[in-house]
Amino acid sequence: MQTIQYAGQPIQINDEGFLTDSSQWTPEIAEEIARETGVGPLNERHWAVLTFCREDAAQQGTPPGLRRISKLAGVQMKELYTLFPKGPGKLAARIAGLPKPKSCI
């Protein structure tokens, strides 16, 4: 756990760079994490995904998986990989200020 300055605010993040308190998140923070992770400036399509992820996580209690994002946010899998290269599930969660999607071991 460490504290880092994002958009002029002290923000708590874990060792992998995920916000530990999702309520500290702001769109400005998202832009900064996007730059830092090489996703670059966020466009309308990025925001469609990020907004869906935040709304869905608030309802479900866990960040959505790729298939859920693709189906419910209406973004094809291939496009998800163009928007958030390498690991869209993980990257979208991190930029949206959500915890890392879970696995067992």
Partner 1 sequence: MKRLMILGAGTAGTMTANRLHKELGADWRITVVDPETRHLYQPGLLFLPFGRAREQDLERPRQRTLRRGIEWLNAPVEAIEPDRSRITVGGSHLEYDLLVIATGSQIRPEETPGMIGDHWYRDVFDFYTLEGATRLRSALAGFSGGRLVVNVVENPIKCPVAPLEFAFLADDYFTQRGIRDEVELIYVTPLDAAFTRPVASRALGSMLEEKGIRVETEFSAGELDGDRGLIRSYDEREVAYDLLVTVPTHMGAPVIETSGLGNELGFVPTDPHTLAAKEHENVFVLGDATDLPSSKAGSVAHFQSHVLAENIVRASQGRSLLESFDGHANCFVESGFGKALLIDFNYDVEPLPGTFPLPIVGPMSLLKETRRNHWGKLAFEWIYWNALLPGRPLPISNRMSMIGKRKLAA
Min dist. Cβ of residue 34 to partner 1 (A): 18
Tokens of 1: 């756990």
Using CB under 8 A as the binding rule, whether residue 61 contacts partner 1 is answered as yes
Using CB under 8 A as the binding rule, whether residue 7 contacts partner 1 is answered as no
3-class SS of residue 51 = helix
Min dist. Cβ of residue 47 to partner 1 (A): 21
- Computed on alpha carbons and rounded to an integer, the radius of gyration of the chain in Å comes to 13
Q: Which CB atom, from 41 or from 61, has the smaller least distance to partner 1? A: 61
Q: In terms of DSSP H, where are the helices of 13-87?
A: 27-36, 44-60, 66-73, 77-83
Using CB under 8 A as the binding rule, whether residue 66 contacts partner 1 is answered as yes
Q: Which CB atom, from 3 or from 14, has the smaller least distance to partner 1? A: 14
Cβ-contact 98, 65 below 8 angstroms = no
Contact set with partner 1 (CB under 8 A): 14-15, 61-62, 65-68, 71-72, 77-78, 80-82, 85-87, 90, 102-105
